[in-house]
Structure 1
Amino acid sequence: MIALGCDHGGLALKNAVKQYLEENQIPYRDFGTMTEDSIDYAPVAVQVARSVAGGESEKGILCCGTGIGMSIAANKVKGIRASVCTDAFCAEMTRRHNNSNILCMGGRVITPEQAVELTRIYLATPFDGGRHERRVNQIAEIENGTL
């Protein structure tokens, strides 16, 4: 299951990603928003992040104007590694090297078509493990106050 969320600035991206998930029979849960009315991004980000951190969702996708606000808010939830991606290389590498579990994108930065492509890459790319596992574990140690 993929947890989806956006504010008004990321609605077009979320809707494009949602259509891609439906076309590819990838299950998702949509945490909103559903309209272009202005809303705050933090409450949406935390719902998606808690769904991922709690194991209800395998990964999350958050969209706002730049992706930055969503990533900052989501990363406050223990166990979340939310990454803003604006190109294919970053979408691949955040999975391979960082084992990112939430993809963040910006509706004022990329097009809906680009968002679909980044989503495809992100969801298809595995974590490389190896030396990167040690580094991801260090991030968890920071969260736990042991590093």
Structure 2
Amino acid sequence: MKDPLPTGELRHVLLPQTLGRHHTPHTEFIVLSVEVWSSGLVVNLQLTSPGDGPVADPEIFVEDHLGTDYAHGGTVTMGSRQLHVFTPAVPVGARSLTIKSKEADGARQVVVFAVPARGVRGRRLNAAPHRVAVPSSMPFHREAG
């Protein structure tokens, strides 16, 4: 069996700004994160059962505002966690990804992720040290000594 997980460079791990929780009659899931790879996407889900029956695999798909056709390339299940793999990679210029769930009556939006611009990497903000002049009349003023 071919491993469906993407290869290449991990570009970003996107975390939802709002809780990506979704209920259907057969499953309940939370979208925990989306990994943006140079070769595709991985949507990380936490599954729970809405009742006493078995948990059904959710049918999810990905959209962006550019209209990219993301193909579902496979699912890896590890206990109550599922990784859904999609290809192709996120195109340059895409600024958002929407995770949707296929329902009997159509599709419902689950959660939207902001995609950082390509070439922008997280880095530490280096602030210059500041000196604050405190008048000697202030009670917390200490003389250097």
Q: TM-score, normalised by structure 1?
A: 0.27
Q: Bigger relative contact order, structure 1 or 2, given CA contacts below 8 A and separation 6+?
A: 1
Larger helix percent? 1
Larger strand percent? 2
